[in-house]
Amino acid sequence: MCGIVGYIGNKEASPILVDGLKKLEYRGYDSAGIAVLNGDFLIYKQPGKVINLEESIDERVKGLSMGIAHTRWATHGEPTEQNAHPHKSNNGEIVIVHNGIIENYKFLKDELIKHGYTFIGQTDTEVLVNYIQFVQEKNHLNIEDALKKTLQGINGAYALAVMDKKEPNKMVVTRKGSPLAIGVTETNEEFYVASDAIPIVEHTQSLVYLNDDEVVVLERGKKLKITDIYGVQKPYRVKNIDLNLNKVSKGKYEHYMLKEIFEQPETIKNTLYSHLNTENTNINFENLDVLKDKLIKANRIIIVSCGTSWHAGIVGEYIIEELARIPVEVEYASEFRYRNPIITEGDIVMAISQSGETADTLAALRYSKSKGATTFCICNVFGSSMARECDFTAYTYAGSEVGVASTKAFTAQVAVVSLLAIQLGVERNTISQEKASALVEEIKTLPLEVNKIFSTNEHIKSIAKNYTQTTSFLFLGRGINFPIALEGALKLKEISYIHAEGYPAAEMKHGPIAMIEESLPTVIVATNNEYYDKLVSNAQEIKARKGPILAVINEDDSDMIHVADFVFKVPRVSDMLQPIVSVIPLQLFSYHVAVFKGCNVDQPRNLAKSVTVE
């Protein structure tokens, strides 16, 4: 994880770097640091948020126009000042910022220790910068060649920005497995470097995305020079990125998460209408044509994803199997490629990812591609690694999601997967055009239905207030509501630190029922589907054991309302569209519990928005 920023040009570097870090804090916020060059390096580092770093920077940075910066999500070593980046080599001549993990750092460190190197912290990055020094001195190389030679012996993932004070007009950057973008200008007088486009686009919209193992030298007034780590020159393409960043602010809301929850009517609408034809009557995935045949004839769809996106994948499994009758498997991306999965050419491997950068999902996609599968992704970030590498991308139009807890991206993912299932159903003749049109018409009403739920926000808040001391929750659901139970549990635990477990309701009697007692509330997602009566029975079983019950029910509910202690009402829609409405009160409930507990809702402890390490 972590975010890196770099600048070389004719402006003062430090405000650009700090501002860039703030925009990358979603990638980690354990500590932050910058290094600027003024003959020697000026390095500032602080544990905690970028704001701490900003406050520590003094007058000495004035007029210095080249530097690198980092916001950290700790992997090796605690989030202390010592372990914060940038890291400096023993001879004080090289500094580096790094996003990723150096897997063979221990081996390299032992070798360096034998040669008399010393270390002040525990990070793999400190080992790397010293190894560059070691290689440079041993082989009498400039920084560019020393870095390339070093990388030939490195296992792991990295995006790196490196400065050497012996070559004060040069910055060298590279990546493998971790994302990195370079902003270029027409005169080549300035270059911007960042882990994603967001910190760059306000300065220049011309971006070059690096591929794995490419090394770039940035020098004022000179065109980019890109080679691989063996020195072979590489071509590159400058892309024009049009990112609307106006909306990346909290507006009138106290937290990004709340704003993003309330944005859902708009984000669902944007997503839906982006995949409908101009008359808004039929589904139309732009540019899908080339892949359509493969999708229609697919033996199987394997969905790979993580976290909330994995839950969207399970919703997708239910809908695609129901409507298109294609077998679907949903896999944790992190498990998938390590278990020697059977992948054949007729398989479609579909990644679902908000960021398009999650390391495990990206690796699962690459693995599948190498085995001959057709790859497809549902993703929210334009130009992300997944979008660039997949055979086809269906975007969610949720806009930037800043809150670490994913909300609007989830409903947008479910919207896309629903449209895809309907279209595949029509193409495969497993549903009629009439049914498809009826579903499309109903989907168009979802933004309005979601909006209605917001009128119950104060009610949800008043219920949430009762649970600040609760230490554990059970979430139950059946059928297509099962992934919503999982998602409700994940939302609660990640932002309120209350233990929560999602379970298929019928499985409760095979174990979790032993935990039921007065102090363990159960949230049941009990909208009126074919399992409704069974869910009411499950609720009775919990009540009989004195377990408190909160239930998500439809407005016209008849039975659950009498069993539950508290209810969250949602409009009734078709079963397969119910997840999009049922999840909303659970998002709000988690949010309010976390706020009452005084937790940092947008930046929960230990987490980062985009998990770019394995």
Residues of this chain that bind ligand M6R (CB under 6 A)? 306-309, 353-355, 358, 361, 404-406, 490, 494, 610-611
Q: Is the Cβ–Cβ distance between 36 and 66 less than 8 Å? A: yes
Nearer to ligand M6R, 105 or 376 (CB): 376
Toward ligand M6R, which CB reaches closer, 356 or 548?
Answer: 356
Min separation Cβ 200 and ligand M6R, Å: 20
Residue 384 Cβ, how far from ligand M6R at the closest point, in Å? 9
Catalytic residue among 2, 377, 379, 599: 2
Chain residue at closest Cβ approach to ligand M6R: 307
Q: What b-and-e string marks burial along 558-569, b requiring 16 or more CB atoms within 10 Å of the CB? A: ebbeebbebbbb
Measured from the CB atom, is 209 or 591 closer to ligand M6R? 591
> Within 13 A of 159's CA, how many CA atoms are on the CB side?
29
The least distance separating ligand M6R from the CB of residue 240, rounded to whole angstroms, comes to: 24
**Dihedral angle, C-alpha 302, 441, 270, 390, nearest 10 °:** 20
- Residue 214 vs 260, nearer CB to ligand M6R: 260
Is 599 noted as a catalytic residue in this protein? no
444-474: b or e for each residue (b if 16 or more CB lie within 10 Å)?
bebbebbbebbebbeebbebbeebeebeebb
Residue (162 or 359) nearer to ligand M6R, CB: 359
Name which of 336 and 532 has its Cβ closer to ligand M6R.
336
User: Smallest distance, Å, CB 378 to ligand M6R?
Assistant: 9
Strand partners, 37: 41
Q: Are 381 and 196 in contact (CB under 8 A)?
A: yes
Residue at token pair 């997602």: 525
DSSP 414-466: HHHHHHHHHHHHHHTTSS-HHHHHHHHHHHTTHHHHHHHHGGGHHHHHHHHGG
Cβ proximity of 583 and 488 under 8 Å? yes
Nearest distance from C-beta of residue 353 to ligand M6R, angstroms: 3
Closer residue to ligand M6R in complex, CB, 157/611: 611
Residues in the chain, overall count: 614
How many degrees, rounded to 5, is the angle at CA 18 between CA 14 and CA 22?
170
612: Cα within 13 Å, side-chain hemisphere: 32
Looking at residue 177, the DSSP 8-state letter turns out to be: B
CB of residue 507 vs ligand M6R: minimum separation in angstroms?
Answer: 22
Q: At residue 455, what are phi and psi to the nearest 5 degrees?
A: -70, -15
Type of residue at 94: I
Among the listed residues 388, 373, 580, 555, the one whose alpha carbon sits nearest the alpha carbon of residue 487: 580
The CB-of-361 to ligand M6R minimum distance in angstroms stands at: 5
User: Considering the complex, what minimum distance in angstroms separates the CB of residue 297 from ligand M6R?
Assistant: 28
Q: State the catalytic residue, choosing from 88, 149, 408, 609.
A: 609
Residues with Cβ within 8 Å of residue 279, at least 6 apart in sequence: none
Contact 4, 195 (CB under 8 A): yes
DSSP type of residue 403 = S
Whether residue 238 contacts residue 207, with contact meaning beta carbons closer than 8 Å, is answered with: yes
Supply the minimum distance, in Å, between the C-beta of residue 549 and ligand M6R. 25
d(CA 336, CA 304): 8
The torsion of the CA quartet 412, 570, 520, 548, rounded to 10 degrees, works out to: 180
d(CA 582, CA 521): 18
Who's near 230: CB < 8 A, 6+ residues apart?
A: 148, 152
49 an active-site residue?
no
Min. distance of Cβ 611 from ligand M6R in angstroms? 5
The answer to whether the CB of 100 falls within 8 A of the CB of 128 is no
| Beta strands, E only, 55-202 | 66-72, 87-88, 94-102, 156-164, 170-176, 181-184, 191-194
- Measured from the CB atom, the residue of 446 and 611 that comes closer to ligand M6R is 611
Q: Which is nearer to ligand M6R, 481 or 610 (CB)?
A: 610
Cβ-contact 450, 411 below 8 angstroms: yes
Q: Which strand (E) or helix (H) includes residue 151?
A: helix 143-151
Closer to ligand M6R by CB, 307 or 425: give it: 307
CA 28 – CA 419 distance, rounded (Å): 34
The residues annotated as belonging to the active site are 2, 609
